[in-house]
Amino acid sequence: KRQVLNYEQGDVVLRNYTKTIYRNLSDGEMITRLGGDNFVMLVKKESLREYIDMLSFMNIRYDDGKVSKDFIFSATIGYSSTVGIRYPREVMARASIAYSAARRVGAGHVMEYSENIKQELMKIQGVLSNFMAGLMAGEFEVYYQPKVRIETKEIFGAEALVRWHRKGRLSTPVEFVPLLTNDGSIIKLDYYVLEEVCKWLRKRIDMGFEPLRISVNFSRKHLEEKNMIGNIVALIDKYELDHQLIEIELTESEDYQNFELITEIVNGLRANGIVTSMDDFGTGFSSLNMIKNVDLQVIKIDKSFIPLEKDYEGKDKDLIMFYYIIKMVKKLGKETIAEGVETEQQLDYLREVGCDAVQGFVFDKPLPAADFEKRLACGYN
């Protein structure tokens, strides 16, 4: 039976933890508690490594005569030397910056303060603090990268991608999407992109153009939503669109593990006529489990799986693997799209192995809406 301590007992464990550390301090060293399970230590440079090792694995015992249990503690640590510090507050500021950097890497990591870490943290804070204002000001613009049938060179859809016009320059997703994902703000951005896509499709339909399916990326953070499917459906219905015009892309590199939840979401979206796809197939650890357990309709194969046209060690294996990936996915009744296709040689190979469609620079880079509309008018033939 699992033993869970109450708050009073938990406080005893925390005091025992602090006492254990305190007993190891030498003259001139100190420890203080900031609050919760956050502590600050001032230690001698020659003892630093010893303390880090100790804090990384501490066994604290609780025993009140009725409950007896051992607890293993690790620590996320940020530290800084006092060299060059003029004011006491700088000690805490530097340690806090290093601690924040360690937390971003993950629990149990250790980071030393540096000016590079400080600048990186300031950059991160700049993105996060300006995000909502940028969203409200319309600084985010949706670009469209065409999806093209290999045999006919017909544009049958596009992927919606986002760019941020910030401080006089255009920022690409790699500069802000990972930060917004960690922060959770990515949910707001995903819905913003979906709504912009719905507006664009509504406008095209009202102008008399034939609509086409647009895919929108949704982060794993949406799994924490209580009503993801209802929110998506409501947004599509707001613009009176056929649900089949929207495709929701789940990124395989996110390494989803909760297949039951993913299956529930995919089935719910499909029940509402919304197409689902797996982006970046092959980049995570759950590729085969995903297509086995989750009934996605479209599989987008990452460019890293597409054999290069030049000769290199292991190319024969890549050719075999890619050939059978295409065959397997198609046998399962799913549509195959190769991402990041850049050359005519790759296009010829994909045609030869039976891939359905491509997306990449061989046809077009992501385009602003106006340029995409021009491309739809003239096509590739």
Task: Check residue 86 and give its pLDDT.
Answer: 86
For residues 322 and 307, membership in a common domain is answered with yes
Same domain flag for 114 and 186: no
Clarify whether residues 43 and 148 are in a common domain. Answer: no
Strands, E, within the chain: which ranges?
Answer: 30-35, 38-42, 58-63, 68-73, 77-79, 110-112, 140-149, 155-166, 169-171, 213-218, 246-251, 275-281, 298-301, 335-339, 357-359, 367-368
237 and 340 fall within a common domain: yes
d(CA 82, CA 88): 9
Task: Please give the chain's pLDDT, 381 residues, in tens.
Answer: 455 778 888 888 889 999 999 999 999 999 988 888 899 999 999 999 999 999 999 999 888 888 888 888 999 999 999 888 888 889 889 999 999 999 888 888 999 999 999 998 888 888 999 999 999 999 999 999 999 999 999 999 999 999 999 888 899 999 999 899 988 899 999 999 999 999 999 999 999 999 999 999 998 888 788 899 999 999 999 999 999 999 999 875 444 556 778 888 889 999 999 999 987 776 555 567 777 777 889 988 888 778 777 778 878 888 888 888 899 889 989 999 999 999 999 999 999 999 999 999 999 999 999 999 999 999 987
Mark whether 172 and 272 lie in a shared domain.
yes
Residue 2 lies in a domain: no
Single out the residue in 80, 97, 121 at which a domain terminates: 121
Q: How many helices (H) and strands (E) does the chain have?
A: 12, 16
pLDDT of 64: 83
User: Does any domain span residue 282?
Assistant: yes
Q: What is the CATH number of the domain that holds 203?
A: 3.20.20.450
Q: How high is the pLDDT of residue 182?
A: 86
Answer with the one of 101, 121, 141 that is the final residue of a domain. 121
Confidence (pLDDT) at 282: 60
Q: Do residues 85 and 138 share a domain?
A: no
Q: How many domains does the chain have?
A: 2
Closest C-alpha among 235, 239, 216, 217 to residue 227: 235
Same domain as 144, residue 109: no
195/253 same-domain check: yes
Q: Is residue 292 part of a domain?
A: yes
* Domain shared by 274 and 357, yes or no: yes
Q: Using alpha carbons, select from 107, 123, 224, 136 the residue that is nearest to residue 178.
A: 123
Q: What is the pLDDT of residue 1?
A: 42
Angle between helices 186-206 and 115-136 (to 10 degrees): 40
Q: What pLDDT was estimated at residue 208?
A: 96
Domain housing 92: 7-121
| 352, 291: one domain | yes
CB atoms within 10 A of CB 325: 21
Q: What is the pLDDT of residue 212?
A: 95
Q: What is the pTM of this model?
A: 0.78
